Amino acid sequence: MKRILFIITILLGKLAANQATPPNIVFILSDDQAWTDYGFMGHQDIKTPHLDRLAANSLVFERGYVAAPLCRPSLASMATGLYPFQHGITGNDVDGRNNRVELDAPMQAGFHQHPSFIKTLTQNGYLAHQSGKWWEGSYSDGGFTRGMTHGDPERGGRHGDAGLKIGREGMEPITDFIDEATEAEKPFLLWYAPFLPHTPHNPPERLLNKYTKPGRAVDVAKYYAMCDWFDETCGELLGYLDDKGLTKNTLVVYICDNGWAARSTNADDPDQSLWKGFALRSKGSPYENGIRTPIMLSWPGQVKPERSSQLAHAIDLYPTIAAAAGLEAPKDLAGINLLDEGALRKRKTVFGVTHSIHNMTRGDPDDTLQYLWCVEGDWKLLLRLSGVDTTNYKNVHIWDTKLVSLFDLKEDPHGKEDVADRHPEVVERLKRRIEDWRRSLRD
């Protein structure tokens, strides 16, 4: 009997210890990187050994999607688990490039009324550090307990200000925070969203030399080198977790905010034809190179490393992170816990939107809506809004006047060939799915 009681005591002690030590959360966000542009995703030239190693130890969703193909609304959806038309952040600016920070203040105030995984964690004992991209005011406005972004209009605050130095100018603020949280014996959230590989594409010369070769455009070489540079900083971060003995009790989440395509030529472009080719199906676009991203979850001993063909979405991050921490996300969120195999199997479709890049309209998020889209299995449907003025430079893809496009992503993974005319029944079914989705979130 004493032995049984002893064993029970030990087991209860272990259970209590596990409950007392929720996992640290490290959130890594790449900035403007195409879904193909990693070693683990099969790129033949770009070297990403540190992210490849992370992928080897992760549940990797190769078919991940973001809610919007633009950084600000994309990040807002990751944090809140809401679509842009729900949280109100549909573009990068309220009025183009005019008085950006001052005009954004009411938008930020509305955004902060929504719960986020950041606030859920800090309200439950987590320390949280922000670095890199953060559009919605200061780090404290967003619920972080520590951070780099001050959000002060008089000091250049807009989409990250001082936070954008992380990675490009070293990792010390992050390592200092990890030390602080460790010494305080507190679980922590680390938001690492460096301005990488985002422009300016000014990589270290040693990396640019690595990717420069005859016949390769300078813009392409610079972009490749930036992806490598971003990978190096991830290696520093992940290596520090290893050195501190924190990896085993840390959930690392990786995602990119939206896609990118480097110019493949340096020729003069007086008629903008080359620019159109550059922008086509890239950042700001609902095509695959604008909205698709790998999503990775690594948690040694808790998450089995494997590749998944299931659909994953940026709105899933809040429910997933909350569940991993033993907390509850709001029950009305549309996303799922990506560690719940049953929920993954039930999912058939993911959805998203594309709005104008600038000129958000307060109180009317649909005013700048350009596209609705869904992916179901291998099918992808784009709905171009009929009211879009394609002569307006503020609109996305002024060349695109087709109201409906359908793609077979199994045969055409980049979504280049429209097959809507061949499959009218699929078009109608997916149109109804999109209509039902929008209606369900508005009712």
Residue 150 banded pLDDT, cuts 50, 70, 90: very high
Residue 265 banded pLDDT, cuts 50, 70, 90: low
Give pLDDT tens digits for 160-191. 899 999 999 999 999 999 999 999 999 999 99
Which residues, at least 6 apart from 3, have a Cβ–Cβ distance to it below 8 Å?
none
pLDDT of residue 153: 63
Give pLDDT tens digits for 341-351. 999 999 999 99
177 phi and psi, to 5 degrees? -65, -40
Residue ranges and CATH numbers for the domains of the chain are 25-344 (3.40.720.10)
Residue 397 banded pLDDT, cuts 50, 70, 90: confident
62 sits in which H/E element: strand 59-65
Q: How many angstroms separate the CA atoms of 347 and 321, rounded?
A: 19
- DSSP for 148-204? S----GGGT-SS-GGGGGTBTTBSHHHHHHHHHHHHHT--EEEEEE-S-SSSS----
The overall average pLDDT reported for the chain is 90
CB-CB contact of 316 with 335 (8 Å): yes
Helix axes 71-80, 317-324, angle to 10 degrees: 40
Statement: residue 10 has pLDDT above 90: no
Give pLDDT tens digits for 194-244. 999 999 999 999 999 999 999 999 999 999 999 999 999 999 999 999 999
CB atoms within 10 A of CB 440: 9
